[in-house]
Amino acid sequence: MQVYGLIGNPVGHSLSPPMHEAGYGSLGIDARYVTFEPAPDDAAEAIEGAGALGVAGLNVTVPFKQDALEAVDPAPLAERIGAVNTVDFAPVREGDADRPRGHNTDAAGVKRAFSHHDVEIDGRDAVVVGAGGAGRAAAFALADAGAAVHVANRTAERAVELAEAVPGATGAGLDDLGDRVAAADVLVNATSVGMDDPDATPVPAEHLHGDLAVLDAVYAPIETRLLREAADAGATTVDGAWMLLFQGVEAFEIWTGADAPVEAMNAALRAELE
């Protein structure tokens, strides 16, 4: 039996175990998905320990995504983003590498979530609100797919710093966010606004419009105020569970080499959310 897992602190709220185990069950793979909660400064030790125990692959969540870079051989995209959320031990065990390979599947989660909703990215103007981990993944994902990306963040310096790393991107504070969104084709909320306060939204409703596609990375609640008001404006809406699903799907496929059973994994994820 293969064992896959997740390291984070905390991890008790994670929806990954039922999602991944539904995938294993659907394909008849003899595997389990477990969680580990090491101390906040023990990312490298936790990854090394998991490998020594025979774990086949790990997902990595807060606060370990950046620290994990030092414990793995990062794939080019993970290195560019500056964070790892998926670790594959197969290269080490097959003698092809000295350290496990580190990936960032959050970027794939963004691209595949939009693709699933038939949203074209190439050649479009995109606004990413937030310059943290999710914002970095979204900005690189959209730029690599051919979008012109603008990063907006409460702290303008962080937006500019991220934009300098993303090909062709611009960055600024929130002062002109409304005008940016009004002229955009794609919007990603990569902040936690709307999670703790369901009446909060990162973008006022008057700037949303029917030619916009909106992805909100928040998945609890599943329908945020931003998504409700975007739908009222006629926009295409993509809830955060799709991003969560497809980053997990990408990890599943890296580990197993099989096409992930997306419908089974999505059903399990949404059952947990409900």
How is the chain split into domains, by residue range? 2-104+247-273, 107-238
Give the active site residue among 23, 50, 65, 261. 65
For 77-92, the pLDDT digits (tens) are 999 999 999 999 999 9
Tokens of 188: 């990603």
Average pLDDT over residues 146-162: 98
CATH class as words, domain 2-104+247-273: alpha beta
Q: Give me the pLDDT at residue 145, please.
A: 98
- Beta strand 186-189 with 125-129 is parallel
**Mean pLDDT for all residues in the chain:** 96
Q: Give me the pLDDT at residue 175, please.
A: 96
Q: Give me the pLDDT at residue 42, please.
A: 87
First to last CA, the chain: 30
Asked, colleague to colleague, whether 2-104+247-273 and 107-238 share their fold, the answer is yes
- State yes or no: pLDDT of 56 exceeds 90: yes
- Spatial distance between the Cα atoms of 51 and 102, rounded to a whole number of angstroms: 13
Give percent of the chain above pLDDT 90: 95
**Residue 40's pLDDT band (cuts 50, 70, 90):** confident
- State yes or no: pLDDT of 8 exceeds 90: yes
Q: Is 80 left (phi over 0), alpha (psi -120 to 50) or beta?
A: alpha
Q: Give me the pLDDT at residue 172, please.
A: 98
Residue 65 falls in the annotated catalytic set: yes
Q: Is 30 exposed, middle or buried (0-12, 13-18, 19+ CB in 10 A)?
A: exposed
Q: Which residues have a Cβ under 8 Å from the Cβ of 62 and sit 6 or more positions away? A: 8, 9, 133
CATH class as words, domain 107-238: alpha beta
- State yes or no: pLDDT of 67 exceeds 90: yes
Cα angle value 111/115/120 (rounded, 5°): 95
Q: Give me the pLDDT at residue 148, please.
A: 98
- Spatial distance between the Cα atoms of 58 and 47, rounded to a whole number of angstroms: 8
- State yes or no: pLDDT of 41 exceeds 90: no
